[in-house]
A and B are shown apart, each in its own frame.
Chain A
Amino acid sequence: MTLELGPNQQPAHTRHGSSIGQPLTRRDGFLKVTGTARFAADNHPPGMLYAALAVSSIARGRVVSLDVEAAKAHSGVVEVMTPLNRPALAADPDAKDHPFMFRLDLLQNDRVRYPNQSIAVVIAQTLEAATEGAALLSPRYEVLPARVGLDGAEGFVPRGVGVGGPAVQQKGDVEAGLESARTRIEATYETPAQYHNAMEPHAIVAAWDGDRLSIDTPSQGLAMAQGRIAGLFGIAPQNVHIRSPFLGGGFGSKGMISGPQVLGILAAKLVGRPVKLVLRREQMFGPVGHRAPTRQTLRMGMDGEGRLTAISHHARTTSSTFDDFFEPAADASHTLYASPAIATSHDAVRLDTGTPLFMRAPGEATGSIALESAIDEAAHACGMDPLEFRLRNYAEVEPMTGKPFSSKALRECYEQAAERFGWASRPLQPRRMRDADGFLTGWGMGTATFPAIMFQAEARAVLRADGSGLMETGAQDMGQGAWTAFAQIAADGLGLDIDQVDFRAGSSDLPNAGIAGGSGHTATAGMAIHNAGAAVIARLADLATGNEASPLFGAGNEGVLARGGRLYRRDDESRSESYADILARAGLAEIEGRGKGAPDPASQETYAKHAHGAVFAEVKVDPDLGQIRVTRLVGAFAAGRVINPRLVRSQYYGGMIWGVSFALHEEAVTDRRSGRIQNANLADYHVPVNADVPSVEALLVHEDDPHVNALGIKGVGEIGITGTAGAVTNAVWHATGVRPRRFPIRIEDMLG
């Protein structure tokens, strides 16, 4: 049965808190540390062959020849797939039926539109033979000059940015606001191209059985992947079975099925045997998305009290020549600071790169480092403490829309993090603090924000004759802890101990759990689980309260509570009955309930829904040598209900460390002549090592939100990057007096 609960309606029978809110360790932790968790590439079905991708050296042009004979002559090579023999598809991979259908390179022709584009697939008995076969293809090209960089082509205004928002938005009169201002600042910041670089590369093991397809592959959105694959191959979605129990990170790059993953399926079709295809690290720099570079100009005006009179935020970004994704960087200025006039705008150039994609906090990360830097510059221009300035411009309603916030404990975040950090003793002027070793010491802050998004999800709950429970939803664990957090929600939803719940996820034959993205997975699939639990308990309550033999007879369906595998009479808890007894009396082996998770359209209209946070950073800069080290990070975040504080802290830590990475480390460096990325490996594409983040603290600020959903969950996956990158940057300025305008901040920027 499906119980029709309103999106924000509390269930009648269950109470959160038995499992929800507990700092459980990861239920999959043992499997992972012992190496027994089976990731996609760990699968070896009988008869499996290995595929190696051959990718383009050039950024733009045409493949003129491939030495297929040489590859096929190599011992162990079974087949070479090129545009000439690639099995037919039912849909054009260049078709775009909706904005989230990204064009794929599936050997549809000889054209090359970015470096590392797939140009052939070699299938062999061993990985080594496939790899050597790919090298033997010795492609020759007709080369056209690569278009590279933020000025590499003519700019244009895209039709939409991010998930389709307007590229240009404004309220009030920004020019008038700037005109009337007592103090004005204008600054331009550049952020580089970044690549997701999940630890686990995109991998697929594909096996066909007639028109049925079975695949193991990491996916942040099983149902979307299933639909896309079914469409490409002209088969029914239910004929595509995807298993994705664990992802070794996704960060957005596994949100959509990628071209190389589909090529693995095509290869299996071509040879009629199961095929495994795993991307090499350098091959992940191209066909699986990236965060596009930006150049952002912010102008701000302030009155005599330091109140903003206008914010203007313009962002230039890049996309590929053949598809649309535009980093919505300027939109960061919509939500954080009150101003009578706000104007945001985007333009873009098309380059010979792979198509950019959602990358952890798309728009918010890039936009926030520029906005938070500019806010810091504005505070300084007004002679104000950066925290005082932010409080002076605190948004009581969402600045761009005027909507009230569903909840906003940002003030508490500022207070708690500032107190913990010791912000009060910060000198206003830069270059005033040195430590005992003579290092310039600086303190900076940034505000963090991320929208509380929900998608659509479904779940199925079962209570079994032995009193145990089953909860099924095709949720995705990317390492964030979904196996654990969802099981906690399931346990409370079913009124059972977590040990009594069999939680199943990570497979496309389970109910659609939506996408693990947009920081919305816990809220969306969590609500589906919660509602499925409520539905099956309501059924159980019917069975008990409607039967004269039950001690609960006559209590009325809503007159009972579920807890610890028993139903209790609400008005007399001495009267109770176990789930097993209720089912046994009814002669039922099991009963089932289904639930959905979805945003509430009414509250969507009424409220602005965002998580918030405040991050404070301490950096030390060697005054002569320019080395920058982050010595301390303190963040405080308010994101609604916390399902598992241990896992939530992990998400904040990871996000904050990524913020350090954004400010100081990450950059894909392009050879401007060839268009190739020259640091496409994890030795040269830097992310912080442990030694770069000696002290990270994340405070969980209590926040009740009755409007986002019945569980009160906002989402914690992405917010940690935002605010942190700006906090580190502002701390570098406070240490040195040098205002970074180009990221990552390098030694040479500090040599002065």
Chain B
Amino acid sequence: MRDFAYLRATSTEAARQAAALPGAMLLAGGTTLIDLAKCGVAEPETLVDITHLEGLDGIAVDERGAMIGALARMGHVADHADIKGRFPAVSEAVWQAASAQIRNMATIGGNLMQRTRCPYFRDPSNFSACNKRQPGSGCSAIGGVTRGHAVLGTSEACIAMYPGDLATALVAFDATVHLGERQLLVDDFFLLPGATPDKEHAIEPGEMITAVEIPASAAARRSTYLKVRDRQSYEFAAASAAVGLELEPDGRTIRDLRVALGGVATKPWRARAVEDALKGKVLEPDAVRAASLLAVEGAVDHGANHYKIELAPRVVARAILTLGEAA
């Protein structure tokens, strides 16, 4: 076997320092890392185990927002009464992710670091070209099997789809990720592939996700996560939408709207054009459907994934209208 060092971090600070070593990777739930190691994508020289660190698995919710520790299990977040009450889209996104078994192991911090399901990325022994794995080596996916690939945020270097559900909900509600002292909007934490698809997150060596903070908002309280997929469970989104809605006291004019897309883009995709088009307008089906088309402005397909461009605006419209009906 390939030897690697195993370190059991004694504190968050020690974990950060260890993770700064070349070739070091943090191990939490392991549901992504072990999987990627088995398919030869991740080859850590040092595994820094943080699963036992105390104080990082809390879930605290008050009127200002939610603070979710990096080691909180996905299953706990999905089931948390206050998350369900104040951030239903977050709970729905998490319980529709993966399988019950994986949710019971996987952590929130690890989930943010989840990598693409692009089959070419995941198969280094058979496809050497992958700019995400090996900068400059090319992209095997372009011209290949692309039904699951991104239509938004792609570049000539990479069309790999970001597969997560949680982060889609997080970007909709302006959540931040805590990296020790530094905080970043989740939207800024995820990077577009551009010419450097190997760089997926704005995280620097020596940094570690310690928490995710979601500010409270009326839109977050009235929110939903709609996930359309090929089967009912244990499946990534064909297209998904995290939507939050706040109406004026008249009960029909849109005061605030949050829309983010999953399953269609290279990162969790905030659809501000849809939000801007509808804010201040009366919530009305035709207007919502028309505005939802803006969600896929600039989309580029690669053959088999063309249907995502059709599907995504419909998912957005359905989610908005469902929230509107649930007044």
A interface with B by C-beta (< 8 Å)? 57, 76, 115, 126, 128-129, 131-132, 135, 622, 624-627, 629, 664-665, 669-674, 676, 678-679, 683-684, 686, 688-692, 746-748, 751
Map CB proximity to A onto B229-253 as digits: 1 under 8 Å, 0 otherwise.
Answer: 1111111001000000000000000
Q: Is the CB of B119 within 8 A of A679?
A: yes
Map CB proximity to A onto B62-89 as digits: 1 under 8 Å, 0 otherwise.
Answer: 0000000000000000000000000000
Q: Is the CB of A626 within 8 A of B230?
A: no
Q: Is the CB of B40 within 8 A of A135?
A: yes
Q: How far is the CB of A683 from chain B (nearest CB, A)?
A: 7
- Across the interface, A132 reaches (CB within 8 A) one of B1, B144, B231, B318, namely B1
Q: Is B314 an interface residue (CB 8 A)?
A: yes
Q: Is the CB of B315 within 8 A of A135?
A: no
Q: How far is the CB of A172 from chain B (nearest CB, A)?
A: 43
For chain B residues 305-327, which have a beta carbon within 8 Å of chain A?
Answer: 306-307, 310-311, 314-315, 317-318
Interface majority SS (helix, strand, loop, mixed), chain B: loop
For chain B residues 264-321, which have a beta carbon within 8 Å of chain A?
Answer: 306-307, 310-311, 314-315, 317-318
Given A76-B1, A747-B238, are A691 and B315 also a contact pair (CB < 8 Å)?
no
Chain B, Cβ-Cβ closest to A133: B1
What A residues does B120 contact at CB under 8 A?
A: 678
Q: Is the CB of B234 within 8 A of A747?
A: no
Interface majority SS (helix, strand, loop, mixed), chain A: loop
Q: Is the CB of A686 within 8 A of B314?
A: no
Q: Is B145 an interface residue (CB 8 A)?
A: yes
Q: Is the CB of A671 within 8 A of B145?
A: yes
Q: Is the CB of B311 within 8 A of A132?
A: no
Q: Is the CB of B231 within 8 A of A688?
A: yes
What A residues does B233 contact at CB under 8 A?
A: 689-692
Q: Is the CB of B1 within 8 A of A129?
A: yes
What B residues does A625 contact at CB under 8 A?
A: 228, 311, 314-315, 318
10 contacts between A and B (CB under 8 A): A622-B228, A629-B232, A669-B147, A673-B143, A679-B145, A689-B233, A747-B230, A748-B306, A748-B307, A751-B311
Q: Is the CB of B231 within 8 A of A678?
A: no
CA distance A688 to B234 in the complex (A): 10
Q: Is the CB of A747 within 8 A of B311?
A: yes
CA distance A346 to B258 in the complex (A): 56
**Pairs A-B, 3 closest by C-beta atoms:** A128-B1, A748-B307, A691-B232
Q: Is the CB of B230 within 8 A of A126?
A: no
Q: Is the CB of B228 within 8 A of A686?
A: no
What A residues does B147 contact at CB under 8 A?
A: 669
Q: How far is the CB of A75 from chain B (nearest CB, A)?
A: 8
Q: Is the CB of B232 within 8 A of A674?
A: no
What A residues does B230 contact at CB under 8 A?
A: 664-665, 686, 746-747
Given A76-B1, A625-B311, A747-B311, are A665 and B145 also a contact pair (CB < 8 Å)?
no
Given A673-B144, A674-B126, are A692 and B231 also a contact pair (CB < 8 Å)?
yes
Chain A, Cβ-Cβ closest to B1: A128
CA distance A672 to B303 in the complex (A): 13
Q: Is the CB of A132 within 8 A of B314?
A: no
Q: Is the CB of A57 within 8 A of B315?
A: no
**B143, B230, B231, B234 — most chain A CB neighbours (10 Å):** B231
For chain B residues 102-156, which have a beta carbon within 8 Å of chain A?
Answer: 117, 119-120, 125-127, 143-145, 147
CA distance A683 to B40 in the complex (A): 17
CA distance A494 to B325 in the complex (A): 68
Extra A-B contacts (7), CB below 8 Å, given A669-B147, A751-B307, A751-B310: A622-B228, A624-B314, A683-B234, A686-B231, A689-B232, A689-B233, A747-B230
CA distance A747 to B235 in the complex (A): 14
CA distance A691 to B96 in the complex (A): 12
What B residues does A131 contact at CB under 8 A?
A: 1
Q: How far is the CB of B117 from chain A (nearest CB, A)?
A: 7
Q: Is the CB of A678 within 8 A of B145?
A: yes
Q: Is the CB of B228 within 8 A of A747?
A: yes
CA distance A624 to B313 in the complex (A): 10
What B residues does A671 contact at CB under 8 A?
A: 144-145
Q: Is the CB of A626 within 8 A of B311?
A: yes
Q: How far is the CB of A143 from chain B (nearest CB, A)?
A: 12
Chain B, Cβ-Cβ closest to A744: B230
**A135, A625, A669, A688 — most chain B CB neighbours (10 Å):** A625
What A residues does B235 contact at CB under 8 A?
A: 686
**A622, A626, A748 — most chain B CB neighbours (10 Å):** A748
Q: How far is the CB of B31 from chain A (nearest CB, A)?
A: 11
Chain B, Cβ-Cβ closest to A626: B311
What A residues does B306 contact at CB under 8 A?
A: 748
What B residues does A746 contact at CB under 8 A?
A: 230, 307
Q: How far is the CB of B65 from chain A (nearest CB, A)?
A: 31
What B residues does A128 contact at CB under 8 A?
A: 1
What A residues does B229 contact at CB under 8 A?
A: 627
CA distance A625 to B292 in the complex (A): 14
What B residues does A622 contact at CB under 8 A?
A: 228
CA distance A664 to B232 in the complex (A): 12
What B residues does A665 contact at CB under 8 A?
A: 230-231
- Across the interface, A676 reaches (CB within 8 A) one of B126, B228, B232, B307, namely B126
CA distance A690 to B101 in the complex (A): 14
Chain A, Cβ-Cβ closest to B98: A683
What B residues does A672 contact at CB under 8 A?
A: 144
What A residues does B144 contact at CB under 8 A?
A: 671-673, 678
Map CB proximity to A onto B208-232 as digits: 1 under 8 Å, 0 otherwise.
Answer: 0000000000000000000011111
CA distance A679 to B117 in the complex (A): 10
- Across the interface, B125 reaches (CB within 8 A) one of A129, A135, A747, namely A135
CA distance A627 to B263 in the complex (A): 15
- Across the interface, B117 reaches (CB within 8 A) one of A627, A684, A690, A692, namely A684
Chain B, Cβ-Cβ closest to A670: B145
Chain A, Cβ-Cβ closest to B3: A75
What A residues does B145 contact at CB under 8 A?
A: 669-671, 678-679
Q: How far is the CB of A224 from chain B (nearest CB, A)?
A: 33
What B residues does A688 contact at CB under 8 A?
A: 231
What B residues does A664 contact at CB under 8 A?
A: 230-231
What A residues does B311 contact at CB under 8 A?
A: 625-626, 747-748, 751
What B residues does A669 contact at CB under 8 A?
A: 145, 147
Q: Is the CB of B126 within 8 A of A132?
A: no
What B residues does A689 contact at CB under 8 A?
A: 231-234
Chain B, Cβ-Cβ closest to A56: B126
CA distance A688 to B315 in the complex (A): 23
CA distance A751 to B313 in the complex (A): 12
What B residues does A132 contact at CB under 8 A?
A: 1-2
CA distance A128 to B1 in the complex (A): 5
CA distance A469 to B126 in the complex (A): 56
Q: Is the CB of A57 within 8 A of B238?
A: no
Given A129-B1, A626-B311, A691-B233, are A678 and B228 also a contact pair (CB < 8 Å)?
no
Q: How far is the CB of A745 from chain B (nearest CB, A)?
A: 10
What A residues does B143 contact at CB under 8 A?
A: 673
Chain A, Cβ-Cβ closest to B128: A57
Chain B, Cβ-Cβ closest to A136: B2
What B residues does A690 contact at CB under 8 A?
A: 233
Q: Is the CB of A692 within 8 A of B318?
A: no
**B306, B314, B315 — most chain A CB neighbours (10 Å):** B314
What A residues does B126 contact at CB under 8 A?
A: 57, 115, 674, 676
Chain B, Cβ-Cβ closest to A627: B228
What B residues does A627 contact at CB under 8 A?
A: 228-229
What A residues does B314 contact at CB under 8 A?
A: 624-625, 751
CA distance A115 to B145 in the complex (A): 16
Q: How far is the CB of B211 from chain A (nearest CB, A)?
A: 29
What A residues does B238 contact at CB under 8 A?
A: 747
Q: Is the CB of A57 within 8 A of B125?
A: yes
Q: Is the CB of B1 within 8 A of A126?
A: yes
Chain B, Cβ-Cβ closest to A127: B1
CA distance A683 to B232 in the complex (A): 13
Q: How far is the CB of B164 from chain A (nearest CB, A)?
A: 14
